[in-house]
């Protein structure tokens, strides 16, 4: 089955800096790559996603890039703010009903 590796497991940045979280996947048939944000004590929520026919997608301060050849995708957060502090999960799927998640990255943004 699909295997998703996510790095780093923790990431500390200063407010205003950029943050990058990277994921690799194993199944070349995977074609959907979402990112979820989970604040402390809350449920995961989708923040951005990308499909395999697109190389990059942006939404305000967040962007996701995909390299199908290398089978990796990344989340970029610019101008980080304290409210960006959370656990971020990447995921991959080739069937929309079955997502395989990475183990998560705890992002800490210090004021």
Partner 1 sequence: EAQVTQNPRYLITVTGKKLTVTCSQNMNHEYMSWYRQDPGLGLRQIYYSMNVEVTDKGDVPEGYKVSRKEKRNFPLILESPSPNQTSLYFCASTGGATNEKLFFGSGTQLSVL
Binding residues for partner 1 (CB under 8 A): 1, 6, 9, 32, 34, 36, 43-46, 49, 89, 93, 96-104
> Looking at beta carbons only, is 61 or 103 nearer to partner 1?
103
CB of 3 to partner 1, least distance (A): 10
- In whole angstroms, what is the distance from residue 71 CA to residue 80 CA? 26
CB of 16 to partner 1, least distance (A): 28
Residue 42: CB partners within 8 Å, gap ≥ 6?
Answer: none
- In whole angstroms, what is the distance from residue 97 CA to residue 83 CA? 30
> Looking at beta carbons only, is 48 or 77 nearer to partner 1?
48
């Amino acid at each position: 089955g699909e295997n998703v590796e996510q790095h780093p497991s923790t990431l500390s940045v200063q407010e205003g800096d950029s943050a990058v979280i990277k994921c690799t996947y194993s199944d070349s048939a995977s074609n959907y790559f979402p990112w979820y944000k989970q604040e402390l004590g809350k449920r995961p929520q989708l923040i951005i996603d990308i499909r395999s026919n697109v190389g990059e997608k942006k939404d305000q301060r967040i962007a996701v890039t995909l390299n199908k050849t290398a089978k990796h995708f990344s989340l970029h957060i610019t101008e980080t703010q304290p409210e960006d502090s959370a656990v971020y999960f990447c995921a991959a799927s080739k069937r929309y009903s079955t997502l395989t998640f990475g183990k998560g990255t705890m992002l800490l943004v210090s004021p």
